[in-house]
Chains A and B, each alone.
Chain A
């Protein structure tokens, strides 16, 4: 009798669990929160590093030869040209990724991005908004500043019931897709930046008058053309809420005039 009772209890409990799962459904809410926490942790770390850097050097210009600032608005105006870009998602048959917009949303020290993207799969009538956790990675190469988007995690916003297994598989595929595949659908931006300070002046004729005891002699002085250039290199990049601050210093041999180009 006791054995029958135990089996009955296990059966009822299992039924409760199955019922709870099938009725309550599943979602990516937890995964989204986990990524939100990871991004906040990352933001705090970036901010702490910026705090340390600014505590050590409150005004980086005091240790620089030149600085260049580009606002977020200017960079966002360029990024706007790539709005609503769509591409097939390799690895997920029939899936299309649409990147509605990518905008910089820097914090003080934090290279944050606001990416509005969605994934569609026509065969299951699914269109899922994607939470793309990414940061901007600026780097200098040649006479360009290059902005690459580092995708850290992509989680679709989805909720499904036990019986919507095709949607569940789509969500699983989106989560497991290699981050590089998402990165390939995001804009890669490079902005020209001359790493030199130079000036140039053309040859110029300047009138010169000699007053003589009985008249004057008019003449022309021909000042030769002048060109000078100091090679610079990027010593620090600071991302603040207003945009990107790039600090450059003269190369060590610039003062000897060797680096003029």
Chain B
């Protein structure tokens, strides 16, 4: 009878011991994982992201994109005059009675920017440094004023404020040639339209002088020094395309008998620029193409 009992107990215990052994192994592995997790936690914590999406670009690559300007085909900024208010110069007196005045018409030309050097700044902007060569041409229409005349009975003495009329006109080619070093700042931002938007402005120096040269009959060579306030607002702006540009798909089966296409839009919620680069936290807007 003892052997019967032994046989039964052996059977029971053998299956029990296998199950117990597995339970112990599972428990031991879970303990190992928990211990490793404690080591991992401080390493992982700085990398964790709380938003749906995050896109980060290094400062180096932002500068690299700026430097790619150097391989662009078109490096020329075109200039043309749209309106003249007042005159280019109004000379009173001088060897020719009341002098002359000149207006500049149809001025146009090119400003060539051959090489750009881009550097990412610790504040999250990109500094672009370059030198340019501007060559502008136009037509000067000059008018030699008539002799001085009296303005009124109360002011009978002739003055150039009230020339008696007459005089003659002349025309000449005007040129303005200028070369200088200049820098600009590209500011980066994100909004609902784009996760990365750049805006190039803040030209430095903020102003410079250009000399418009022309040669007039009876007057000789003239150089008109004109200060230019360089644009501080947007000189150029643009966007980076959606990182998730294109169509995603979820499908099941081979051959496929379930398929849905979708697009992911990035809607920035927070933008951070620092010494390392530019990052955007965003929510993901998933739009289905075939519901």
Binding site for B on A (CB under 8 A): 9, 12-13, 16-17, 20, 29-30, 33-34, 36-37, 40-41, 43-44, 47-48, 50-51, 54-55, 58-62, 64-71, 73-74, 77-79, 81-82, 85, 87, 107-109, 143-144, 184-194, 197-202, 204, 206-226, 228-230, 238, 240-243, 245, 250, 254-255, 257, 260
Contact = CB atoms under 8 A, between A and B. Distances in A.
Contacts of A64: 58
Interface stretch (B34-42, B144-152, B155-163, B164-172): B34-42
B58 A61 contact: yes
Contacts of B4: 9, 12-13, 16
Contact of B70 (A70, A85, A257): A257
Contacts of A192: 244-248, 263-264
A257 B79 contact: no
A244 to B, nearest CB: 10
B43 A54 contact: yes
A257 B246 CA distance: 25
A78 B250 contact: yes
B36 A13 contact: no
Contact of A108 (B37, B224, B286): B37
B19 A184 contact: no
Given A37-B25, A65-B57, A214-B86, A189 B248 contact: yes
A220 B82 contact: yes
Contact of B238 (A71, A184, A200): A200
Contacts of B276: 61-62
18 contacts: A12-B4, A33-B26, A34-B22, A47-B36, A55-B43, A81-B250, A85-B258, A187-B258, A188-B250, A189-B250, A190-B248, A194-B244, A215-B85, A217-B84, A219-B79, A221-B111, A228-B69, A229-B65
Contacts of B79: 208, 219-222
B264 to A, nearest CB: 7
B30 to A, nearest CB: 6
Nearest 5 A-B pairs (CB), nearest first? Answer: A215-B86, A201-B238, A192-B246, A228-B68, A69-B54
Interface in B38-74: 39-40, 43-44, 46-58, 60-61, 64-72, 74
A144 B246 contact: yes
B224 A222 contact: no
Contacts of B19: 29-30, 33
A226 B71 contact: no
A17 B11 contact: yes
Contact of A71 (B47, B53, B277): B53
Contacts of B238: 199-202, 226
A223 B236 contact: yes
B64 A230 contact: yes
Interface residues of B, number: 111
B249 A41 contact: no
Nearest to B8: A16
Nearest to A189: B250
Interface in B235-289: 235-254, 257-258, 260, 262-264, 276-277, 284, 286, 288
A33 B23 contact: yes
B98 interface: no
Of B33, B237, B243, B288, most buried by chain A (CB within 10 Å of CB) is B243
Given A144-B246, A219-B107, A257-B67, 6 more contacts: A51-B43, A71-B53, A81-B260, A204-B237, A212-B86, A213-B90
A69 B242 contact: no
B78 A230 contact: no
Nearest to B68: A228
B141 interface: no
B94 interface: no
B250 A198 contact: no
B210 interface: yes
Nearest to A62: B276
A108 B286 CA distance: 26
Contact of A9 (B3, B36, B227): B3
Contact of B47 (A77, A224, A226, A238): A238
B58 A65 contact: yes
Contact of B253 (A71, A74, A87): A87
B131 interface: no
B3 A13 contact: yes
A81 B250 CA distance: 8
Contacts of B36: 44, 47-48, 51
A196 to B, nearest CB: 9
B77 interface: yes
B88 A212 contact: yes
A67 B29 contact: no
A29 to B, nearest CB: 7
Contacts of B180: none
Contacts of A62: 276
